[in-house]
Amino acid sequence: MTDENFTGNVAPAQPSAVNMHVVEEADAGAEVAELYDRYRSHFGRTTVPGILKCFATHPPLLRHMLGLAENLLFVDGLLTRRHKEMIAAWVSAGNACPYCADSHGYFLRMLGGSAEQLTAIQACNAHSAAFAAKETALLGFVDKITHASHTVSRNDVESLMQAGWSEPQIAEAIHIAALFAAFNRIVNAFGLPSQHLLDLDQAGQEMTPAGPAASSREHI
**Same domain, residue pair 110 and 161:** yes
Residue 13 lies in a domain: no
User: What domain range includes position 100?
Assistant: 81-190
- Determine the pLDDT at residue 57: 96
CATH number assigned to the domain comprising residue 100 = 1.20.1290.10
Residue 217 lies in a domain: no
Nearest to residue 97, comparing CAs of 89, 87, 86, 109?
89
- Determine the pLDDT at residue 6: 44
Residue 26 CB coordination number (10 Å) = 6
Nearest to residue 18, comparing CAs of 111, 98, 77, 76?
98
Consecutive 10-residue runs of the chain (220 residues): their mean pLDDT?
46 67 94 96 89 96 97 96 98 97 95 97 97 98 97 98 98 98 97 89 52 37
Q: What is the DSSP annotation of 98-110?
A: HHHHHHHHHHHHH
CA angle 213, 214, 218 (to 5 degrees): 100
**Same domain, residue pair 85 and 182:** yes
In three-state secondary structure terms, 65 is helix
- Name 182's Cβ contacts closer than 8 Å, sequence gap at least 6: none
Residue 214 lies in a domain: no
- Determine the pLDDT at residue 32: 97
Query: What is the count of structural domains for the chain?
Result: 2
- Determine the pLDDT at residue 52: 95
- Determine the pLDDT at residue 47: 85
**Same domain, residue pair 152 and 102:** yes
H helical segments located in 44-153: 50-55, 59-68, 81-94, 98-110, 115-122, 133-148
- Determine the pLDDT at residue 203: 61
Integer Cα distance of 188 and 183 in angstroms: 8
- Determine the pLDDT at residue 178: 98
- Name 198's Cβ contacts closer than 8 Å, sequence gap at least 6: 102, 105, 106, 109, 118
**Same domain, residue pair 144 and 182:** yes
- Determine the pLDDT at residue 200: 75
**Same domain, residue pair 184 and 138:** yes
**Same domain, residue pair 114 and 181:** yes
